[in-house]
Amino acid sequence: LITAQSHRELAQRLAANAEAHAAGRPQDAALVVVSVAPQAYAALATRHGLTVTQTARRVTAALKDLGVELVFDTGFARDLSLLRIAREFVARRTRNAGPLPLLASACPGWVCYAEKTHDYALPYVSTTRSPQQVTGALVKTYLTPRSPSEVYHVCVMPCYDKKLEASREDFRLPGTEVREVDCVIATHELELFLADHGRADLRQAPEVPLDQPLSKLDPELGLARAAGTSSGGYLEYIMAHAARELFHIPLDAAAVERGEGGIQIRTVRNADFREVTLILPDGTVGLRFAAAYGFRNIQTLVRKLKLGRCSYDFVEVMACPSGCINGGGQPKPADMSAGPKAWIEACETSYRSLPIQAPVDNTALLAVAEEWLGNPDVTAPGADRYLATQYHALPKEPTAATVVGW
Ligand code: SF4
């Protein structure tokens, strides 16, 4: 049940595990794994005046002390998601493998809205899974030694809409009723969970090393971000990949973020609608991307799409104004005197303090893709089983998406 996904459910599961161990029945205890989104760590870091890595180490220590066995961050899954969507874009652009603009699919608030009210937009939506659901498949089928039904996997996410995503029928392991993500708790619910167990103040908490699923291949791996905004860096990564593949321009995502190498960045109408254009050496436009955050901008986008007047190649669509860092499940500051804008900016700055790591430079990631999916090419046949999804036009009723404003 969607309502069953809460910090209380996690607490109940850990209590049941403790009982099983106390009764000498360890085989009845589930392996509890928690995967945390970097936006959640960034908001908690801002709240407690810590770095993102300090926060991750302290949250990991607290969760492990309370019975969680493995604590991952979702960065490795985000990188797999980026690799696939960039290749999906090039396939659409060069081989007519689907319509353009390609619309990002990592935000369930937007996807749910499109399924319920704008089904004509669904063919444009990327079939690449979100980092949460790639994490789900990775954890249940590759990263843990137990069978999927013996693993209880929790994701900590910046919004409540991710609970809806985890509960989709499409995200059960093929041929089973086993969900890839059993429970999603919002960042604020993680705070409640820690407070319920006497761990509210992360400033006083001990630290432990991070669990890195790829550390057996690359011990230097730590928390990292993709270039771009806290919404995952889809626009920047796809732009750089396509510039290299289509025009042989040696661009990387960090240069796109900085507006270098022929990139022009323009704010249109409001701060939540950006156009990012690649100007080729001959002065013509090579690629025209946009980022549309918040429902006001999404409505403009889908209206243009319906009228056939949307001339972008790719649009990073996110339901929350300011993107994921401002998700409805994020903590709010104890002191609101500086205003919400300053708080969101501080959280975004915290997120951007993480080092940038390009997925293509991550040899460990490619090695895992080869071992897990059978091929480092994440668009190869077979990879879609865990990296792709599909969408469904739904009856037109009010969306359950919970995009919380200020
Ligand atoms: Fe969730 Fe908002 Fe991010 Fe969408 S933009 S995934 S609703 S936090």
Residue 219 has pLDDT above 60, yes or no: no
Residue 141 has pLDDT above 60, yes or no: yes
221 band by pLDDT with thresholds 50, 70 and 90: low
Q: What is the mean pLDDT of residues 253-279?
A: 95
Ligand 1 binding pocket (C-beta < 6 A) is 107, 109, 158-159, 161, 318-320, 323-324, 327, 403
Residue 34 has pLDDT above 80, yes or no: yes
The closest of 7, 11, 68, 13 to 35, measured between CA atoms, is 68
HEC sequence for 39-69:
HHHHHHHHHHCCCHHHHHHHHHHHHHHCCCC
Q: What pLDDT score was predicted for residue 403?
A: 37
| Residue 367 placed within a domain | no
Amino acid at 332: K
Q: How far is the CA of 286 from the centre of ligand 1 (A)?
A: 29
Looking at the chain, the whole-number percentage of residues with pLDDT higher than 70 is: 94
Surface-to-core class of residue 179, CB atoms within 10 Å of its CB (0-12 exposed, 13-18 middle, 19+ buried): buried
More confident residue, 95 or 104: 104
Q: How many C-alpha atoms does 256 have within 13 Å on its Cβ side?
A: 32
Q: How far is the CA of 297 from the centre of ligand 1 (A)?
A: 14
Q: Of 321, 342, 360, which residue sits at a domain end? A: 360
CATH number reported for the structural domain that contains residue 265 in this entry: 3.40.950.10
Residue 67 has pLDDT above 80, yes or no: yes
Pairing type for strands 273-279 and 263-267 reads: antiparallel
Residues 92-102 have pLDDT tens digits of 999 888 899 99
**Same domain, yes or no, for 112 and 44?**
no
**Same domain, yes or no, for 69 and 139?**
yes
Strand boundaries in 280-336, DSSP class E? 285-293, 314-318
If you take atom 3 of ligand 1, which residue's CA is the nearest one? 324
If you take atom 6 of ligand 1, which residue's CA is the nearest one? 107
Work out the number of other CB atoms within 10 angstroms of the CB of residue 172. 15
**Same domain, yes or no, for 84 and 70?**
no
Query: Which range among 83-97, 177-191, 307-321, 351-365 shows the weakest confidence by mean pLDDT?
Result: 351-365
- CA end-to-end span of the chain: 28
Q: How far is the CA of 109 from the centre of ligand 1 (A)?
A: 6
Q: What pLDDT score was predicted for residue 14?
A: 97
Residues 234-252 have pLDDT tens digits of 999 999 999 999 999 999 9
If you take atom 7 of ligand 1, which residue's CA is the nearest one? 109
Pairing type for strands 314-318 and 31-36 reads: unpaired
Q: What is the mean pLDDT of residues 87-115?
A: 95
Cis link prior to 101 (omega < 30° from 0)? Answer: yes
Q: How far is the CA of 186 from the centre of ligand 1 (A)?
A: 11
Q: What pLDDT score was predicted for residue 216?
A: 46
401 band by pLDDT with thresholds 50, 70 and 90: very low
Paired with 224 in beta bridges are: none
Q: Which of 132, 164, 318 to mutate to test the pocket of ligand 1 (most atoms within 8 A of CB)?
A: 318
Q: What is the mean pLDDT of residues 157-180?
A: 94
**Same domain, yes or no, for 154 and 31?**
yes
The token pair at 320 is 């929350």
**Same domain, yes or no, for 125 and 137?**
no
**Same domain, yes or no, for 300 and 245?**
yes
Q: How far is the CA of 110 from the centre of ligand 1 (A)?
A: 8
Work out the number of other CB atoms within 10 angstroms of the CB of residue 109. 26
| Residue 400 placed within a domain | no
| Residue 85 placed within a domain | yes
Strand, coil or helix: 225: strand
**Same domain, yes or no, for 142 and 59?**
yes
Q: What pLDDT score was predicted for residue 399?
A: 47
Q: What pLDDT score was predicted for residue 124?
A: 97
**Same domain, yes or no, for 100 and 26?**
no
Residues 322-337 have pLDDT tens digits of 999 999 999 988 777 8
User: How much is the mean pLDDT over the chain?
Assistant: 91
Residue 197 has pLDDT above 70, yes or no: yes
- Distances in Å between the Cα of 76 and the Cα atoms of 80, 126, 207, 346, 359 are 7, 19, 22, 24, 8
- This complex has an ipTM of 0.99
**Same domain, yes or no, for 160 and 239?**
no
CATH number reported for the structural domain that contains residue 193 in this entry: 3.40.50.1780
Instruction: Give the DSSP letter of residue 139.
Output: I
Q: What is the mean pLDDT of residues 77-102?
A: 93
Work out the number of other CB atoms within 10 angstroms of the CB of residue 200. 16
| Residue 308 placed within a domain | yes
Q: What values do phi and psi take at 188, rounded to 5?
A: -65, -35
More confident residue, 66 or 1: 66
Q: What pLDDT score was predicted for residue 263?
A: 98
- Distances in Å between the Cα of 257 and the Cα atoms of 89, 195, 239, 347 are 19, 37, 10, 18
Query: Could you list the residue range(s) of the whole structural domain that residue 187 is in?
Result: 2-76+131-204
Residues 364-390 have pLDDT tens digits of 788 888 889 888 888 887 889 899 999
Nearest atom within ligand 1 for CA of residue 39:
8
213 band by pLDDT with thresholds 50, 70 and 90: low
Q: What pLDDT score was predicted for residue 133?
A: 97
**DSSP characters over 330-395:** S---S--TT-HHHHHHHHHHHHHTSPB--GGG-HHHHHHHHHHHSSS-TTSTTTHHHHB-------
Q: How far is the CA of 322 from the centre of ligand 1 (A)?
A: 10
Q: What pLDDT score was predicted for residue 22?
A: 95
Q: How far is the CA of 216 from the centre of ligand 1 (A)?
A: 32
**Same domain, yes or no, for 169 and 29?**
yes
| Residue 245 placed within a domain | yes
Strand, coil or helix: 328: coil
| Residue 178 placed within a domain | yes
Q: Looking at the 3D structure of the chain, how many domains does it have?
A: 2
Give the DSSP H or E segment for 143: none
Q: What is the mean pLDDT of residues 47-65?
A: 95
Q: What pLDDT score was predicted for residue 400?
A: 45
Per-residue b or e along 301-333, where b marks 16 or more CB atoms closer than 10 Å to that residue's CB: bbeebeeeebebbbbbbbbbbbbbbbbbbbbeb
**Same domain, yes or no, for 355 and 317?**
yes
**Same domain, yes or no, for 345 and 246?**
yes
Work out the number of other CB atoms within 10 angstroms of the CB of residue 191. 21
| Residue 313 placed within a domain | yes
Q: What pLDDT score was predicted for residue 334?
A: 76
| Residue 211 placed within a domain | no
The token pair at 314 is 């790719």
